[in-house]
Amino acid sequence: MVEKQHRKILIGILVSVFLLVGIGVNYAIGVDGPKVRELGLQEAVDLAVKNNPSIEIADLSLQKAERQYEGAKFTADSLDTRDVNTYQVGLLKWVNPKATEVGLTLAKKSRQLSQNRLMVSVETAYYDVLKAERNLQIKRENLKYLQDQLKIAQTAYKIGTKAKVDVSVIEAAVAAAQAAATSEDSSYRVAVMKLNELTGLELDTPLKLTTQFNVEKISGTIKLDETLKEVLTDNITILSVKLDVDVKKVQQEVAERFYGAKGTVNNTAEIDSKMAEVTVRQQELALTAAVKESYLSLFSLEQMINWQTKEVEKTRENARVFALKYKAGLATSLDVKKATIDLEQAESDLADSIYSYNLLKSQFKYDLFTTGSGS
């Protein structure tokens, strides 16, 4: 009676796993569904730049800034200097053109920033899919390994060389592995959907990613001083603060023209200038720290990945040996369970490091670093 119950449990598990694997494979290769789309990393980035609404919004913002500048310049040119007899008219003549010119400069910089941020987002989403795909593979391999051990345990139990507890331990491990594989399959589908959303593809389009989930080391090719110079030059926060000072200087000159040097309109100009200097210095320091931290993390992850790769090899061999020992009656079901946990953990840790390394590469590729303030 007990054996029949165990047999029913096993059949139920195997049927569920068959369905799980079948569904996952169908989703991956497009069986009975949309045609599979092969997609490389650069192609994904290009599609996003072409199709993503954020780029269109940035383009429209740039067009708006261009028209505002043209309008302010037209108004200023239509005003004869002799007719500028009030502070308000002076703003139209000299300040508004400068302010809208600054707005146009920032809109151009913002357009490029929007594109770079989108590119980083796409690369992140792409590696999210690759990581989920790798994790799903790890979960399924773990499930297959435990299923094999369950068959050994059940056979041994029938002939009296294994205890009931051995079968129960492996059955519980198989059930847990099945649940983990199901969860990871869902994570994979969500990751694919998010990448499709960014690139402008149909949300349910099955993907076959052609860029490999591995590490191509770049730390030795990065010129830190050049990277820092480019990052500090291109940072929109620093640029906007500096350009705002230029606008306030023009406003101060207009105020002095009508109110004199003691005018209340311009009495904060010196303070504004000092605040801008402090803000720029603070932002430059934060960005420099962010770049250097990412640079050091690249080196650290390279070493970590080297070690983790060897650790995976070691734990995989350990799991293989324990499987043989278990079959020969020289290891317990708990030994087998621990070996699978160790292997799964080692493989997951390696996948996490590969993922993190490639995201750091994207930061250096697009000179886009995040400080504590989010800039």
Rounded to whole angstroms, the Cα distance separating 283 from 313 reads: 44
pLDDT at 26 over 50: no
Mean of pLDDT values over 278-289: 93
At 321-340, the pLDDT tens digits run: 999 999 898 998 899 999 99
- The enclosing domain of 255 has a CATH number of 1.20.1600.10
pLDDT at 60 (0 to 100): 96
Residue at 373 is within a domain: no
The pLDDT score that the predictor gives to residue 234 is 86
Query: Over the stretch 160-202, which tens digit does the pLDDT of each residue have?
Result: 888 899 899 999 999 999 999 999 999 999 999 999 999 999 9
- What confidence tens digit (pLDDT) does each residue in 108-143 have? 999 999 999 999 999 999 999 999 999 999 999 999
Helices (H) and strands (E) in the chain, counts: 10, 2
Residues above pLDDT 70, as percent of the chain = 88
Structure tokens that stand for 84 in this block: 């500028």
**What is the number of domains present in the chain?**
1
Whether 318 is in a domain gets the answer: yes
The helix (H) or strand (E) run that includes residue 39 is: strand 37-39
What is the average pLDDT score of the chain? 88
In a domain, 374, yes or no: no
Least confident of 5-19, 207-221, 291-305: 5-19
When pLDDT is cut at 50, 70 and 90, the band that residue 375 belongs to is low
Strand partners, 308: none
Q: For residue 229, is pLDDT > 50?
A: yes
Query: Which residue type occupies 190?
Result: V
Q: What is the pTM of this model?
A: 0.83
Burial 189-206 (b: 16+ CB within 10 A, else e): bebbbbbbebbebeeebb
Q: Quick one: pLDDT at residue 265?
A: 53
Q: What is the pLDDT of residue 33?
A: 64
Mean pLDDT of 138-149: 94
Q: Is residue 262 part of a domain?
A: yes
Among the residue ranges 16-20, 242-246, 278-282, the one predicted with the least confidence is 16-20
pLDDT reported for residue 252: 84
Q: How far apart are the first and last CA of the chain?
A: 67
Tell me, what's the pLDDT at 13?
46
Torsion of CA 182, 187, 193, 196, to 10 degrees: -120
Tens of pLDDT along 33-53?
A: 679 999 999 999 999 999 999
Task: Name the residue range of residue 22's domain.
Answer: 2-366
Distance of CA 98 to the CA centre of its chain: 38
Distance CA 334, CA 165 (A): 10
Q: Is residue 241 part of a domain?
A: yes
Q: Judge residue 239's burial from the number of C-beta atoms within 10 Å of its C-beta, 0-12 exposed, 13-18 middle, 19 or more buried.
A: middle
Please check the confidence at residue 105 and state whether its pLDDT lies above 70: yes
Is 32 part of a structural domain of the chain? yes
